Amino acid sequence: MNLRFIPISDLKDANVSIFSQYKENQLVHYNEPDLGLFIAESPKVIFRALDAGYEPISLLVEDKTIESREASELWEKLRKMPDNNGDTPVYVGDMKLLSQITGFKLTRGVLCAMKRKKLPDAREFCKDFCRIAVLENVVNPTNVGAIFRSAAALNIDAVLLTSGCSDPLYRRAARVSMGTVFQIPWTYISSEGHDHNETPFWPERGMGLLKSMGFKTVAMALRDRSVSIDHPELMKEPKLAIILGTEGEGLMDETITTCDYVVKIPMSHGVDSLNVAAASAVVFWQLGLKRS
């Protein structure tokens, strides 16, 4: 792949419109009916996206960063990639200008616009997995990213998301995950909402899908029937789908009622709950399959 370094000095430069004029939810639909785009931030995150097969479109970099060790390694990696679409532009500007274009200070001084990939079907995707996490309407991208990082580190095979979740490829989610959104397999359990006269896919049909794949379902919630995360029967289950709910409200009552287990994390000092990202790390450590 050939890189073309192009200085920019104007906020209205059309070449950087992907970075300056589109919100992240607009980039999802940028190429409709084809797959859209997303923005990866920082060399480490971009590295992991490239390793996962995502295709770069263009980059935006701070001039003081361009010769840093991390950036130099990134240029070298990009140059070794197949050249599918001619030169890849790398737009270069000073931090003051780039902050005005992007609206925030760049982490490690680099952004990369990349093509999305088609997501796999949940049934085909999870059939051979033993431990998966299911996120129910987790809307904060920071929490989504942190959960992915914990899942990747603590022996969870994959992550499924309901359609109400924040996109794991949003810049903040991917950055907080340290790029693990590109390492651990994931997909939406369904992108369906109300389909004519049918019920919403989640939770009724989604829970049925999980159980049809052989998973025992685990609701993380405080209820009278809640058991501890180290309950002996729970620990023996060969396939578990661990379901974590949205910030504040937690899981829907219907989800909790339908699950095979309702599970709590033992706590002290009268504390009854943790942030969903913190809770995910604890439960993944306990229930993730320990691998040598």
pLDDT tens digit string along 28-58? 999 889 999 999 999 999 999 999 999 999 9
Q: What mean pLDDT is predicted for residues 17-32?
A: 91
Q: What mean pLDDT is predicted for residues 73-94?
A: 87
Q: What mean pLDDT is predicted for residues 212-226?
A: 92
Are both 89 and 133 inside the same structural domain? no
pLDDT at position 290 over 90: no
In this structure, what token pair is assigned to residue 103? 């609206």
Q: What mean pLDDT is predicted for residues 262-278?
A: 89
Are both 271 and 143 inside the same structural domain? yes
3-state SS class at 96: helix
**Contact (CB, 8 A) for 215 and 258:** no
Q: Give dist(CA 109, CA 144) in Å, integer.
A: 23
In this prediction, residue 193 has a pLDDT band, given cuts at 50, 70 and 90, of: very low
What CATH code is carried by the domain that includes residue 204? 3.40.1280.10
Q: CB burial class (10 A; 0-12, 13-18, 19+) of residue 200? A: middle
Q: What mean pLDDT is predicted for residues 141-147?
A: 97
Q: What mean pLDDT is predicted for residues 147-158?
A: 96
Q: What's the N-to-C CA distance of the chain in angstroms?
A: 38
Residue in the structure block whose two tokens are 């896919």: 201
At 241-252, the pLDDT tens digits run: 999 999 888 999
Of 80, 115, 150, the residue at which a domain comes to its end is: 115
**Contact (CB, 8 A) for 115 and 57:** yes
At 102-135, the pLDDT tens digits run: 666 666 689 999 999 999 999 888 988 999 999 9
Q: What is the CA radius of gyration of the chain?
A: 21
At 255-266, the pLDDT tens digits run: 999 999 999 998
Of 66, 96, 115, the residue at which a domain comes to its end is: 115
Q: Give dist(CA 171, CA 112) in Å, integer.
A: 10
Residue 277 lies in a domain: yes
pLDDT at position 71 over 60: yes
Q: Give dist(CA 94, CA 64) in Å, integer.
A: 7
pLDDT at position 292 over 80: no
Question: What single-letter DSSP state applies at residue 138?
Answer: -
**Contact (CB, 8 A) for 237 and 203:** no
Beta strand spans in 46-130 (E): 56-62, 88-93, 110-115
Identify the pLDDT of residue 192.
47
- Total domains in the fold of the chain: 2
Q: Is the dihedral of CA 126, 217, 266, 231 positive or negative?
A: negative
3-state SS of 188-240 is ECCCCCCCCCCCCHHHHHHHHHHHHCCCEEEEECCCCCCEECCCHHHHHCCCE
Identify the pLDDT of residue 220.
94
What CATH code is carried by the domain that includes residue 45? 3.30.1330.30
Least trusted range by pLDDT, from 191-195, 236-240, 278-282: 191-195
Are both 169 and 145 inside the same structural domain? yes
Please state at what angle helix 276-287 crosses helix 141-153, rounded to 10 degrees: 10
Are both 46 and 178 inside the same structural domain? no
Q: Bridge-partner residues for 187, per DSSP?
A: 160
**Contact (CB, 8 A) for 200 and 162:** no
Determine how β-strand 3-7 pairs with β-strand 88-93.
parallel
User: To the nearest whole number, what is the mean pLDDT of the chain?
Assistant: 89
Identify the pLDDT of residue 51.
96
For the chain, what percentages of helix, strand and coil (3-state, to nearest 5) are there?
Answer: 35, 20, 45
Q: Which domain holds residue 239?
A: 122-287
Predicted model pTM: 0.90
Residue 292 lies in a domain: no
